[in-house]
A and B are shown apart, each in its own frame.
Chain A
Amino acid sequence: MNLLHFINAFFSDSAHWHGYDGIPTRVGEHIEYTLEALALAAAIGLPVGLITGHTGRGGNALSLIATAGRALPTFGLLVLMTLLLGFGLVNVMIPLVILAVPPILVTTYEAMRSVDPSPVDAARGMGMSEAGVLFQVELPAALPLILSGLRSGAIQIVSTATIAAYVSLGGLGRYIVDGLYQRNYEKVVGGATLVAGLALVTLAVFWALTRFAVSAGVRRSG
């Protein structure tokens, strides 16, 4: 009984490919949790990071919040939320968002701070508005780093969204949690493999996004 055997057995079992506990359903749920958590984390991290980075104010407070966010134990938070709020998707979203905000926020801030100051000075001197400076000069130059922050956040969410299964929700964590409970290691390994695969897909998506969204002039010179 080795790892490859487990993997083979899990994926070749046709029963695992359909139904409410089938792979497509669980992968779909996992992606849904990931996208929701990532969207929420980006909605918090990106604007705050962009504005603090642009103005250069609040960097210290930011790193404090980020460190605190990183120190919070995700699993503990999940249990606490469930005790406070009962079962539900919100309980899962809060720890996942808290997990992903620090990398997005801090990287966005750092990306904005590390933009070459001379084009920014030139843009202001030419009479560009502050919003213009932010979105037309700083953001395009900072985009590769900002995307890498989003990527870290996304990977962390994908890997951690398995915890949803502990509070009776779906996702790929279902296989791991149920497999452990049933001592069905084939299921555990299969679920873990799917999570790893999804993480790799996330990397590929961000690679494609970077190719598409970042100007060739920035990609090559950076």
Chain B
Amino acid sequence: MAVDRLSLDIPDRSITVLVGPSGCGKTTTLRMINRMVEPSEGTILLDGQDIQQQPVNTLRRSMGYVIQNAGLFQHRTIVDNIATVPRMLGWGKDKARARARELMERVGLDGALAKRYPYQLSGGQQQRVGVARALAADPPVLLMDEPFSAVDPVVRKGLQDELLRIQAELGKTIVFVTHDIDEAVKLGTMVAVMRTGGHLAQFAPPAELLSDPADAFVEDFLGADRGIRRLSFFPATGLELLTGPIVAVDATAEQVAARDTAGAPYLLVTDQEGRPLGWSEPGELTAGNIRQAELLPYGRPFVAGTDSLRSALDCAVLSPTGWAVAVDAEGRTAGVVSQQTIGEAIRGAHAERRASDRAAERPQAGKDSRVAR
């Protein structure tokens, strides 16, 4: 049996990710929602209505469906691929094509591709067409079956960011299947971890999944560095940044000497605009003659306002000095922070999260559909 007595409340207007090892029944579960697989028993309710009650093709046309490798129609142009469902719903050709062009823009596809055929597009572009095609008739529900599994990691990250952006604009009820826990944690509002036989191991928001895995299976599936990954959910905004140990590359001897006492073992040298160049021990800096090649690398800076504690910690770990460099959106140095300070911030954030969890139970998301077997 692929899926056995699964009961799941999928919240409205958010992304629910079904994740688990292969053979855990996640795809079967998804395909039961649009009746590509008929359950042998149990019911699936959509907005309180049993999905068995309406004609199967009417149901499917009200749900977007995105699959791995996009599954585009090779004989149709991109614009006609996207216009498929509107045409099935009886829209006129011009109206359907106009809608398709609108969607190409929405998913970040160049309008010049409209008259091309699928074979002329890259895998990532094809998958964008797949998403556009699923959105064409503006369905309230979107079913996505490992849509980004077949593209390379860089393209996949781009597609994930794009999906989050589109979701922020459209607010669909998305059910997303993946075997990649990182993808699940990144995209999911709620994540359902499934184990073989379609049993639900845990259903929780990603941060809770990482902090409180329900059992050894979930913990094992999350992988070794779940503590680090969980830091993605803590913003780095609370970090106390030091601006003392920073000198410009054209600083005078007095300025270098004044910085010497700022409380850090190293000085960060920046260019005239404030962009970081590298670290130096204070004694080795000669004003007016700072050789950039001799500076220690500063690793990869994090953006002070938007990045998470995970990025900040990563920067500090990458930096040979153990200090992370924070920059603003334009790449100008905002300050520096030590591993020790980041560590304290992490402990503080954990304590704060525990306190707020105790104060109020997480509000339950609205009930929308229920999968049972």
Contact = CB atoms under 8 A, between A and B. Distances in A.
Interface of A: 116, 118-129, 132, 136-137, 140-141, 214-218, 220-222
Contacts of B134: 126
Contact of A119 (B74, B77, B143): B74
B57 A127 contact: yes
Main secondary structure of the interface of A (DSSP, over half): helix
B53 interface: no
A119 B75 CA distance: 11
Interface of B: 31, 34, 36, 56-61, 65, 67-77, 84-85, 88, 117-120, 130, 133-134, 143
Given A118-B69, A118-B71, A218-B75, A126 B88 contact: yes
B60 A127 contact: yes
Given A216-B117, A217-B117, A126 B61 contact: yes
A221 B84 contact: no
B84 A125 contact: no
A122 B67 contact: yes
A217 B119 contact: yes
Contact of B118 (A121, A124, A129, A217): A217
A127 B69 CA distance: 19
Contacts of A124: 36, 60
Given A118-B71, A125-B60, A132-B88, 5 more contacts: A118-B68, A121-B71, A126-B60, A126-B85, A220-B117
B36 A217 contact: no
Top 8 nearest A-B pairs (CB, nearest first) are A217-B117, A127-B60, A122-B71, A221-B119, A215-B75, A125-B65, A118-B71, A127-B61
23 contacts: A116-B74, A118-B70, A119-B72, A121-B71, A122-B71, A122-B133, A123-B73, A125-B31, A125-B65, A126-B133, A126-B134, A127-B59, A127-B61, A128-B88, A141-B74, A214-B75, A215-B74, A215-B76, A217-B118, A217-B119, A218-B75, A220-B120, A221-B74
Contacts of A141: 73-75
A125 B64 CA distance: 8
B225 to A, nearest CB: 34
Nearest to A221: B119
A222 B117 CA distance: 12
A217 B74 contact: yes
A217 B60 contact: no
B61 to A, nearest CB: 4
Contacts of A123: 71, 73, 84
Contacts of A121: 36, 67, 71
Contacts of A218: 74-75
Contacts of A126: 60-61, 65, 84-85, 88, 133-134
Contacts of B59: 127
Contacts of B58: 127
Contacts of B75: 140-141, 214-215, 217-218
B70 to A, nearest CB: 8
B189 to A, nearest CB: 23
A217 B34 contact: no
B117 A128 contact: no
Residue from A118, A126, A218 with most neighbouring chain B CB atoms (10 Å): A126
Contacts of B71: 116, 118-123
Contacts of B61: 126-127
B117 A127 contact: no
B71 to A, nearest CB: 3
B143 A217 contact: no
B73 A125 contact: no
A118 B77 contact: no
Contacts of A216: 117
A118 B61 CA distance: 17
Nearest to A136: B73
B316 to A, nearest CB: 45
Nearest to A129: B57
B88 A137 contact: no
A14 B143 CA distance: 73
B358 to A, nearest CB: 44
A66 B58 CA distance: 40
B90 to A, nearest CB: 13
Contacts of B57: 127-129
Contacts of A118: 67-71
A92 B339 CA distance: 92
Residue from A119, A122, A132, A215 with most neighbouring chain B CB atoms (10 Å): A122
Nearest to B119: A221
A126 B61 CA distance: 5
Given A126-B88, A129-B57, A140-B75, A221 B118 contact: yes
Contact of A127 (B72, B74, B85, B118): B85
